A and B are shown apart, each in its own frame.
Chain A
Amino acid sequence: MLDKIKEFASEFFVTGDPLILGAQVSIGLSLVAIIFVLTFFKKWRWLWTEWLTSVDHKKIGIMYIIASILMLFRGGVDALLMRVQLAAPEVEFLQPEHYNQIFTTHGVIMILFMAMPLMFGLFNIVVPLQIGARDVAFPFLNSLSFWMFFFGAMLFNVSFIIGGSPDAGWLAYPPLSELSGSPGLGQDFYIWGIQISGIGSLATGINFVVTILKMRAPGMKLMQMPMFVWSVLSSCITIMFAFPILTVTLFLLFIDRYLGAHFFTLDGGGNPMMYINLIWMWGHPEVYIVILPAFGIFSEIVSAFSKKKLFGYKSMVFALMSISFFSFFTWAHHFFTMGSGANVNAFFALTTMLIAIPTGVKIFNWLFTMYRGRITFTTPMMWTIAFIPCFVVGGMTGVLLSVAPADFQFHNSYFLIAHFHQVLIGGVVFGYFAGLYYWWPKMFGFRLHEGLGKWAFWFWNIGFYVCFMPQYALGLMGMTRRFNAYDFDMGWQPLNVVSTVGAFLMGIAFIFQVWQIAHSIRFFKKEKDGDAWDGRTLEWSIPSPAPLYNFARLPQVTSQDEWWEEKQRIANGQPAKPLAPLEPIHMPKNSGIPFIMSLCWFTAGFGFVWDWLWMAIPGLIGVAICMLARSFSYDTDYYIPVDEIERTEAALRGTK
């Protein structure tokens, strides 16, 4: 009996690596600590009623952001491990198998479980406030989206200590990702983790498209929406068309692995090249999905801190929407070297270059928003200003890569690695950091310490250039990606060492950010009013943090930058808009179903990974029961009475 358990445990847990053993122990200890703290302070009920069952978009947004920062930590540690290995390959710090797992999980986590949730977090917090709505269109679905993402991410992450991590690259090309190439469980964790969170992403995309189209405050025309809302709309439309492709592709891969089908195996008539096409038909739009909202954030910040209207609003909208459209016609530039012939390569080279045009226009519009403005250098603005040169250079190397015949020399080399990190860090990460710093007072009602934020900023920026500029050079020196070791004769080592130093500088920057948050909580200073930055859009017209119902009275919108115009009117001595009488506010009720249903998905996914039908089938039944339970529950909403609104408003605004 004991032997059997031992044998099971040695298969169940990942064993034999001191690094992982350390992680297992620390994860176990932190779990115990969390449970102890929650029990000791009697916080279980609070956790359940205030957070786990909440359908409030602001709380869901905060949970997304917390999860994504944890994932940033894990993805970042992966990156540092890789950099250590590459700085001194002769030491064999990591075994090849281990290295392959680490670059696979680094890619998946950073794109799908860091960038995506950070983006969704900002969508959730900002969009309803900017369009003057009280919640998203489908609050229950919103909660479900979050928990699907969360449990999907956990399922993927658990493979680190249980069962074994995937190691076929972040896009899992077959045949490496098929049973023949990856007989282990890692690839199944990959499929199920991404599938479950992918359903959540698709639902969020639909939710925000509907929210933006249907829930805008009275009077707000589409062409008066804040630019961030436009960017969310373009991103979510892209999600709606791109994510179903991912779901289908991974489902086919699952059937190949689980039922022995041959969609992507050559024996039996399948074709692995079909997978590569399909996954990039999702994968390329995916990078635009994450960058478009960053463009929106920069537009908001550049205008707010230049004290000037956004330049070229119509051009910006047109640029956003055309990028979203063209992103679906460029996928094959990820494999010019597949030999599809000159016609195909020429077509995809041209479509790729086309995207550079609207992107370039946006840069000019940001520059001319600052032109004749009054620029103040707060942390959000510093990230925005740092973004421009970084993204311009990253965009330029992207154009170089799009020149198909030249790409034959860049492909799969560190030149490519440097390029996409420059646009993803310089664009997406800088953008989301800028947004996080900008809207932080709105989320929590206090500011982050500016001094520490500037330290973090400089470490991030200097670290970034020290890390990735040498990688362009390494690419031109012939170093290809995913090498875990190389010949000393190639002369790659000095630049790799430099690059590793840069990576650690970014690691230090992250520590500064954690310190900054901790410091700001420790020396908590409540915001006096909701308008932390003398802002322009509606979210700054209400208290920070926003009350449950956001707007006591729905704002009447007459112009772009409504809140700014209102402040101007008052400053010019014009009368403020007359206040309409308060009315009871219709709100959605909290629900535990999203959490439970996602937990059931997790159970089903875990069961399929291990091929334990006794676990998978009850999981799926649980999902079905949750759906039925929701379908037959009619008590899903309530009204906040007027006197309660009056009390809340008086307390928040410190009047009466």
Chain B
Amino acid sequence: MTRSLAMLTLTSALVAAAGAFAQTTDKNAKIGVLNDQSSLYADVSGAGSTLAAQMAVEDSGLTGKGWKIDVISADHQNKPDVGTNIARQWFDVEKVDVIADVPTSSVGLAINNVVKEKNGVYLNSGAAASDLTTTQCSPNTVHWTYDTYLLANGTGKALVKAGGDTWYFLTADYAFGHALERDTSAVVTANGGKILGGVRHPLNTSDFSSFLLQAQASKAKIVGLANAGGDTTNSIKQAAEFGIVTGGQKLAGLLMFISDIHALGLNTAQGMNFTETFYWDLNDQTRAFSKRFSERMRNKAMPTMVQAGVYAATLHYLKTLEALGGNPHDGVKVVAKMKEMPTDDPLFGKGTIRADGRKLHPGYLFEVKKPSESKYPWDYYKLVATIPADEAFTPVDKSPCPLLKK
């Protein structure tokens, strides 16, 4: 009995070994979507990003060509230590090859280090920190959708050119808000605008009235909102109440997503200006994808730019795998190949990935429509200006990333 069992084990081991030899090219890959599924950024990324990654796998058609691609997901709860633990475990135990999405700068940067240490592939779509491709750039990272440089540059430059030459800032009082304010101020003054002042409000403020009164008194043409999430939506809502926009001042959100506009409603959000890199109603291809996407969402929401970025980045990754032919487990090699191949996807169009990991594509300055202009559900934006891909992101000569120096 014991003997036959031993024989059996031995035989099966041999068969397995033989199998491994026969199939020299390993065609398995595992994608882990790590994001916020429960709080601040759950609507921006969350379950929608997981769906986007799954759709990319389906659309790539790789499963029909002998590949086995798995998508798993987890909630990092916006906690860097929870995020890093999940990521480490994914690499060590689950044998994950790719980590995708990862909003919230603190977690996004922490994961950047883990992926580098484990030589995986990092497709960041959700985090805003431009550090991912500048001071902390890594050969394992592709930063797809947007960053603070784009937000500041896109919105600041375009608005000054459109005549909004005096600015007043409402800034969330922490690193992210400061960075947005600093970058935007630089862009505004460089383009001939003037900063009339600003006020720093604490994170998660429920009442903005006193700050809005100060913004109103400044008589600036543009009130720049250097904040995020609930702070942005609350400040916009209360700005409407205090008659900021009807009084002739314009609000510029520096970090806004379509989910915020949906939550605010057009009545409140109308006239807002901000920069995004994707809008579902941009062209036929984005519309086709977004319809398919929203049908599969529980709340029928249209994709945000972060979710679109997860789709596009995953799709490009899978194309790269196909080009490599197999054995996709060396992160640096895969990312190098991703940079080598030009990108082309239905959502962001044709583009490239720069040596520092920065995906280059155009940014769009949008204005939120008036309720009377909105003809169908989710008809929220009109395009004001396009920022060409070569101006949208940190210029090569200003980036400290060593990967660019080669």
- A and B found bound together: no
